[in-house]
Amino acid sequence: MSDEGVAGPLSGVLVADFSRILAGPYATMLLADLGAEVVKVEGPKGDDTRTWVPPARGEVSTYYLGVNRGKRSIALDLREEADAAAAKELARRADVLIENFRPGGLDRYGLGFDAVRAANPGIVYASISGFGSGPGRAVPGYDLMVQAMSGLMSLTGDADGSPYRAGISVFDVMAGNHAVIGILAALRHRDATGRGQHVEINLLSSALTAMVNQSSAYVAGGVVPFRMGNAHPSVFPYEPLPTADHELIVAAANDGQFRKLCEVLGVPEVADDPRFARNQDRTARREELRPILVERLATRGALEWFELLVEAGVPSGPINTVDGGFAMAEQFGLDPVVEVGEGARATPTTRHPIRFSESPLTYRLPPPELDEHGAELRKWLTEPEDDRG
C-alpha cells in the first residue's frame, strides 16, 4: 500500500486514524508529512469539517483541506459487522492508532486500547480527549470550551472589556502537536522494548502548559493573571505601538534591545534614565515611558520603523492580515505554500513547519474525498498482511 519512491523519517509506519475535526487530523497530517502511511477512517457521513463552510475551494471546505493532506480515506460504519471487522484488521496491522472519541467510546466496537493491544501488542494507541479519562471523561471537548475553562479567555481582550477567544482553535493545535510528540516517543520506546502503549492527551492539560508564564504566575507565584489587552505583564515595551500610519509591534525584551531602540528613535538618553534602566523599572513605569516612545514613533510610518529597527537588531514587526503573513513568509524565503496533487485535484496547502537536512518531507496525496480509497483498502485488508519489515 506504500507509495513507491517516496521516503521520509516515518516511512513504513502505518497510522490508523480514527479521529475527526482538528486535533487528531492535524496530528495525523503532520505524521503523513513525515512519511507515515495514514488511513483516515470516517463514518458514512464523513469528517464533520467536510461541511464546515464557508470558506470553500470549489465545493470542499477549506477547513477540511487544511488538515487532511497525505491520507487515504475509507468510510466505515462501525455498527456494521463487515465494516467493524475491517476496522479491527486495520488496527491489528497498524503501528499507530489515533482517536478522539469520548474516553472509552471505541470500546463498544472492540477497538478500545485493551482489545487492540491484545491483537497487536506493539500498537502505539493515542487518545485525544477534552478533559482526560477520569471524572471529566463525560464532558465533550471543544476548543472554545477549553479556552474558556482553562482561563485563556480571561487573559484575552481589553482590560475593561469582555473575555475573547483566540482567533484559531489554539488548544486543538497544541493537543495535536503533543499527540505527535507522544507518539514519536512511544515509537522510540517500542523500538527499544518491543512493547506498545497507551498515549493520552487532553485539551485542558495542553492548555494549562501552553499558557506557560501565565500558568507559572499562578502555580509558582500565587498570582492570578488578568486581561491587559496587548500588554505583557512582565516586559515593556512588548506590544503594538502607534506610528505615523499603522501600529507596529515593538518587542524590546531586554536592556540591550531597549538601548538600541532608544538609539534608533533618537532618544539615547532615555536608556540611561534610572527610571527606565532595567526591565522591571520599565514595566513598573510603562505609563511614563509609553508617551516618550509614541512621540518619537509618530515621526515615521510603521514599515520604515520596521526596517530601521530590524537593521539595528530590535525585534519588531508590522501587524499583517493573513495574506500579509504569507507574503512576508515568501519574502523571507520560507515557501509557505505547497501544492499537493495534480490537475483538477491540485490543492494549495500550508507547508509543514519542520525542515530536515537529511530526511525529506513528503506531500504525496491531496486531501481525500470521502471513501476515495475504500475499495483499495478493503481489498488490502482482506489479503495476507504485507511484510513491512
Pairing of strands 96-99, 14-18: parallel
**Phi/psi of residue 245, nearest 5 degrees:** -130, -60
Distances (CA, A) of 267 to 232, 242, 270, 350: 23, 17, 6, 42
Beta bridge partners of residue 96, listed in sequence order = 15, 124
Backbone angles phi and psi of 170, in degrees to 5: -65, -35
The identity of residue 1, as a single letter, is M
Whole-number Å distance between alpha carbons of 336 and 350: 6
Which of the 8 DSSP states describes residue 315? Answer: -
User: d(Cα 181, Cα 188) in Å, to the nearest integer?
Assistant: 11
Residue 141 DSSP symbol: -
What are 196's three cell numbers?
506498545
Quickly list DSSP for 327-343.
HHHHHTT---EEEESSG
Of 17, 95, 172, 371, which is the active-site residue?
A: 172
At 212, is the secondary structure helix, strand, or coil?
helix
Q: What's the half-sphere exposure (Cβ side, CA atoms, 13 Å) at 285?
A: 15
Q: Locate 247 and state its grid cell.
A: 501600529
Backbone angles phi, psi at 314, to 5 degrees: -100, 120
- Dist. CA 200–CA 134, nearest whole Å: 11
Let me know if 77 is a catalytic residue.
no
Looking at the annotation, which residues are catalytic?
172
